[in-house]
Each structure stands twice: as structure tokens, then as C-alpha cells.
């Protein structure tokens, strides 16, 4: 099928600025984004061990049709993948194992509970990423896990994280695509603590024990994720950005930057190049906090564009693992995946359609007038026609056509879920 007239025009417009739209689309097709399984069922999982209270997490809304079983979740995901251009990944939490109705304690999980996920991912050509679930459990009821004062409780969570690393490594090896296993914990205090140091010393010791066994980086990479505050940990979070950044630099682990885990005036854009000077690779959790880490669906806004521009301008894509992290239960959950992921890809394409070398040359020459002028002119170029052509070539719906597929699925499938 020949390109549309609109794309032919857009190609010429960008070419006049030295931008090759064909090369940009080819480059974009190589980028995989990890969709987060927990958007599909409001962070419920399949072990029925507990709720989100005390974890600093909250899924708000009661839109009908959330996934209740593994089969339902996979069916919903498969629709989302069909509506999103490109080949992507899935990010799993440990509570999403295939437990077959049996109680399996978290420190005893093995690849057995995730083999069906691996087989499913292989059938679709997807990579998998993984996360220990250090919340929604009786041993996390105090709000402390890896930094808990009780040695036995710390040991339980250390064992859980070790088990998750082994599962992640098995995923990466079987799928031939490196799995990133990311550790986030809710540990913190509602009010001001007297001793801020001791919990962090315990957390460092726990992490050392978790990471003691070396794993082939072709199969598995470790990441640690900070947070500014959470519900119930407003005054003090053990795993702060400063703590994890120091730990990641010292131990050469991936640092996970979550767009919702910083002060609302802080942008990831300025953190990316600084962090990548000292750690080998980066994990991004792209989210949208509104006043707090409220995990809203990602918009094509300035923050998202800034993140993707920095990855492209700095040539950081090869060292960055991009995942999404939000859970909106107030709208159709499959639409939430689709909107957010398509926006993340749009932002990447916009960045790839920028004449970065020319802009850098203007900056280096001190011609900031021309730099600003060109950056502003780029905003009115016919990007939409290039995006539509990319979707068409990737056999994904063009424009809002994807919404009709979701409405039909909601009528035929979601509406029948109690």
C-alpha cells in the first residue's frame, strides 16, 4: 500500500530540515515499552493474600470489567497489544503468578508459578520484566519489609526478592530477552522519625543479601526504585532517591526513576543524563502524578515529551528500559493501557523527528535565538501524518479507530464480567 498524500507532504517538510522520517520510523520500531500488568485488575493479583492498605498504593474508580483471572488479563492485554504499534513487553508483579488455586508463600515461589506466563509471552514474541511484591501481605502490615526491625521478617522478604531474581533470570533466559527485576518497597513512617539511619542500614544489608548471587546480565538485570512519600509514609521513606542512587552507583545496579515518585516540580528530564554518568543502565517508570503519586494515565504532555527528548538527544535509548506504571480504575482499563502507551510512543517519535544535530550546533555556536526559534517551529510541523503512517505500517489502528475495537470488546466481553 502506497503512503498517504499527507505522509508524502510531511516527509518533504521534515526533509527540508534534514530529518529523515523513514529512518525515524525504523528506529522507533526497535523500541519496546513494558506494559504493566497491574493496570488490568487494579493491582489485585491472583494469590488473594491481602489488599493494598498500608502499602502507599491506591487504585481509585470502579469501572466495570476488570480482569479477575489470568485468562481474562491475558485476553485484555492481547487486545491492547493489537492496538499499539510496535512489539512490546509485559511487566509482571510476583502476585500475578499462576498459582492454580494453591497457597504458595511468597518466599517459596519459583519459575513454576510463572511458566505459563513465559509460554504465553513466547507465543506472542514478548519480553517479560518482573517485580517482587513487598506489599499486600500480613508480613508487610506494619509498613516495613526489607528494613523491618524484626530479623525474621526481613529474612522473609529477602528470600522473596531472591526468589524473584531467579524467576526473572529464567524468564530472560527462556525468552532470549533480558528481564529487568525491579525492587520497590513501601517502608516508611507517617510521622517524623527520630532515627532515620538505622532503617537505611538494615535496607542496605537486605539488598546486599538479595544481590549476593551473581546472575548473567544477558538474562537478568537488577533495578532499585525510590519514592518521595506514600500514603502512610508521608514523613519518611527509607528507600529515598538519595539512598538508592548511592546504592546503585556503589554497586552498579540500575536505578529506576518513576515520574510520580518525586516532588511535583521535579522533572525526570534533568535526572536522566546525571544518573547515566554513574550507573550502567536506567529503568524508567513513566507515570503521571496529579498533586501526588496518583498514577494517572500518561498524557502527551511536556513532561512526557521532555523525558523522551532527553533519551533521544543523549543517545540513551540503548541504556534505558522504558516501562509504564499507573493504575486508573475510573476508565476502561484496556483503553488506559492503549492511550498511555500510544502517547509514550508518540513522544518518542516526536523526539526522533527533531533535527538534534542542527539544534546542538546552534547551541554550541551560542545562537540561542535560532535554537529557540527552531524548537518552536517544530511544534507546528505535520507530525500527525508521520504517526499515522507508522501505525499503518505496524498494522495498528490509525487515529481514534482503536477506540471502536475497545467499545466492541467491552460490549462483547467486559460487560459480562461481574
Structure confidence at residue 111 (pLDDT) = 98
Domain with residue 156: its CATH number is: 3.20.20.150
Whether residues 210 and 250 fall in one domain: yes
DSSP 268-320: THHHHHHHHTTSS-EEEEE-EEESEEEEEPPPSSHHHHHHHHHHHHTT-GGGE
Residues 272 and 378 both lie in one domain: no
Q: Is 387 left (phi over 0), alpha (psi -120 to 50) or beta?
A: alpha
383-408: per-residue pLDDT in tens?
999 999 999 999 999 999 999 999 99
Give the pLDDT of residue 293.
86
Tell whether the model's pLDDT for residue 418 goes beyond 90. Answer: no
Q: What is the pLDDT of residue 59?
A: 79
Domain end, chosen from 324, 352, 380, is at: 352
- Partnered with residue 285 across adjacent β-strands are 258, 323
58 with 18, same domain: the answer is no
Q: According to the model, what pLDDT value does residue 292 have?
A: 85
Residues 35 and 25 in one domain: no
Average pLDDT of the residues of the chain: 95
Dig out the grid coordinates for 142 from the structure: 506494619
User: Based on the domain organization, do 208 and 347 belong to the same domain?
Assistant: yes
- Measured in residues, the chain has a length of 418
| Residue 50, pLDDT score | 53
Which residue do the cell numbers 535560532 mark? 370
Is 85:388 a contact under the CB 8 Å cutoff? no
138 has pLDDT over 80:
yes
> What pLDDT shows up at residue 223?
98
Smallest CA-to-CA distance from 93 within 123, 113, 122, 63 is with 113
Mean pLDDT, range 131-136, rounded to an integer: 96
Q: How confident is the model at residue 57 (pLDDT cuts 50, 70, 90)?
A: low
Orientation of helix 21-28 relative to helix 5-15, angle to 10°: 100
pLDDT digits (tens, 9 = 90+) for 216-231: 999 999 999 999 998 8
Task: Answer yes or no: is pLDDT of 51 > 80.
Answer: no
* DSSP 3-state of 113: helix
The pLDDT > 70 percentage for the chain reads 97
Name the 3-class secondary structure at 93.
Answer: strand
pLDDT of residue 61: 87
Specify the DSSP element, H or E, that contains 77.
helix 70-83
Determine the structural domain holding residue 24 and report its residue range. Answer: 1-29+355-418
Q: List alpha helices for 114-240, DSSP H.
A: 115-124, 151-175, 197-210
- The per-residue pLDDT for 56 is 60
Say yes or no: 274 and 126 in one domain.
yes
- φ/ψ of residue 398, rounded to 5: -95, 135
Q: How confident is the model over 320-371, as pLDDT tens digits?
A: 999 999 999 999 999 999 999 999 999 999 999 999 999 999 999 999 999 9
pLDDT at 353 (0 to 100): 98
Q: Are residues 167 and 311 in the same domain?
A: yes
Residues with catalytic function: 184, 225, 227, 258, 261, 285, 293, 295, 325
Q: How far apart are the first and last CA of the chain?
A: 43
What confidence score (pLDDT) does residue 152 get? 98
If we measure between CA atoms, which residue out of 74, 199, 87, 195 comes closest to residue 146? 199
> Which of 352, 376, 410 is the last residue before a domain boundary?
352
- Domain termination residue (choose one: 332, 352, 372): 352
* Helix or strand (DSSP H, E) at 251: helix 241-251
21 with 35, same domain: the answer is no
Q: Are residues 16 and 38 in the same domain?
A: no
Exposure of 248 by Cβ count < 10 A (0-12 exposed, 13-18 middle, 19+ buried)?
A: buried
What is the DSSP secondary-structure string of 143-170? S-STT-S-HHHHHHHHHHHHHHHHHHHH
Same domain, 21 and 140: no
Could you tell me if 148 and 187 lie in one domain? yes
Distance CA 53, CA 247 (A): 28
* C-alpha span between 157 and 185 (Å, rounded): 10
| Residue 55 clears pLDDT 60, i.e. is over it | no
Here the cell at position 55 is: 502499602
Q: What is the mean pLDDT of residues 83-104?
A: 97
**Tell me, what's the pLDDT at 291?**
87
Tally of domains within the chain? 2
Q: Are residues 253 and 322 in the same domain?
A: yes
Rounded-to-integer distance, Cα 49 and Cα 41, Å:
15
CB atoms within 10 A of CB 5: 9
Q: What is the pLDDT of residue 2?
A: 65
Q: Tens of pLDDT along 239-277?
A: 999 999 999 999 999 999 999 999 988 999 999 999 999
Please write the tens of the pLDDT for every residue from 146-179: 999 999 999 999 999 999 999 999 999 999 999 9
Amino acid at each position: 500500500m502506497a503512503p498517504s498524500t499527507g505522509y508524502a507532504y510531511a516527509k518533504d517538510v521534515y526533509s527540508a530540515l534534514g530529518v529523515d522520517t523513514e529512518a525515524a520510523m525504523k528506529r522507533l520500531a526497535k523500541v519496546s515499552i513494558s506494559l504493566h500488568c497491574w493496570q488490568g485488575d487494579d493491582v489485585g493479583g491472583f494469590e488473594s493474600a491481602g489488599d493494598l492498605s498500608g502499602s502507599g498504593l491506591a487504585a481509585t474508580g470502579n469501572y466495570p470489567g476488570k480482569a479477575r483471572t489470568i485468562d481474562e488479563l491475558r485476553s485484555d492485554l492481547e487486545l491492547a497489544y493489537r492496538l499499539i504499534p510496535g512489539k512490546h513487553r509485559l511487566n509482571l508483579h510476583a502476585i500475578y503468578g499462576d498459582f492454580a488455586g494453591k497457597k504458595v508463600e511468597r518466599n517459596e515461589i519459583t519459575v513454576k508459578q510463572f511458566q505459563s506466563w513465559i509460554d504465553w509471552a513466547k507465543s506472542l514474541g514478548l519480553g517479560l520484566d518482573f517485580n517482587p511484591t513487598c506489599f499486600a501481605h500480613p508480613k508487610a502490615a506494619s509498613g516495613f519489609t526489607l528494613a523491618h526491625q524484626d530479623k525474621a521478617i526481613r529474612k522473609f522478604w529477602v528470600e522473596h526478592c531472591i526468589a524473584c531474581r531467579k524467576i526473572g533470570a529464567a524468564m530472560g533466559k527462556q525468552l532470549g530477552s533480558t528481564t529487568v527485576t525491579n525492587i520497590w518497597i513501601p517502608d516508611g513512617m507517617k510521622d517524623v522519625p527520630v532515627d532515620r539511619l538505622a532503617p537505611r542500614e538494615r535496607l542496605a544489608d537486605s539488598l546486599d543479601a538479595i544481590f549476593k548471587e551473581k546472575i548473567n546480565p544477558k538474562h537478568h538485570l537488577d533495578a532499585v526504585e525510590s519514592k518521595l512519600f506514600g500514603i502512610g509514609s508521608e514523613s519518611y521513606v527509607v528507600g529515598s532517591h538519595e539512598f538508592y542512587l548511592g546504592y546503585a552507583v556503589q554497586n552498579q545496579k540500575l536505578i529506576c526513576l518513576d515520574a510520580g515518585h518525586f516532588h511535583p516540580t521535579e522533572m525526570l528530564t534533568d535526572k536522566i543524563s546525571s544518573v547515566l554518568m554513574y550507573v550502567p543502565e536506567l529503568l524508567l517508570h513513566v507515570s503521571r502524578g496529579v498533586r501526588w503519586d496518583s498514577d494517572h494515565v500518561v498524557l502527551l504532555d511536556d513532561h512526557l515529551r521532555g523525558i523522551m527528548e532527553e533519551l533521544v538527544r543523549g543517545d540513551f535509548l540503548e541504556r534505558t528500559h522504558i516501562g509504564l506504571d499507573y493504575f486508573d480504575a475510573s476508565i476502561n482499563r484496556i483503553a488506559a493501557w492503549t492511550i498511555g502507551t500510544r502517547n509514550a510512543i508518540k513522544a518518542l517519535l516526536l523526539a526522533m523527528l527533531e533535527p538534534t544535530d542542527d539544534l546542538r550546533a546552534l547551541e554550541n555556536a551560542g545562537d540561542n535565538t535560532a535554537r529557540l526559534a527552531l524548537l518552536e517551529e517544530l511544534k507546528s510541523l505535520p507530525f500527525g501524518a508521520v504517526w499515522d503512517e507508522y501505525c499503518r505500517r505496524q498494522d495498528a489502528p490509525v487515529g481514534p479507530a482503536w477506540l471502536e475495537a475497545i467499545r466492541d470488546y467491552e460490549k462483547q466481553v467486559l460487560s459480562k464480567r461481574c
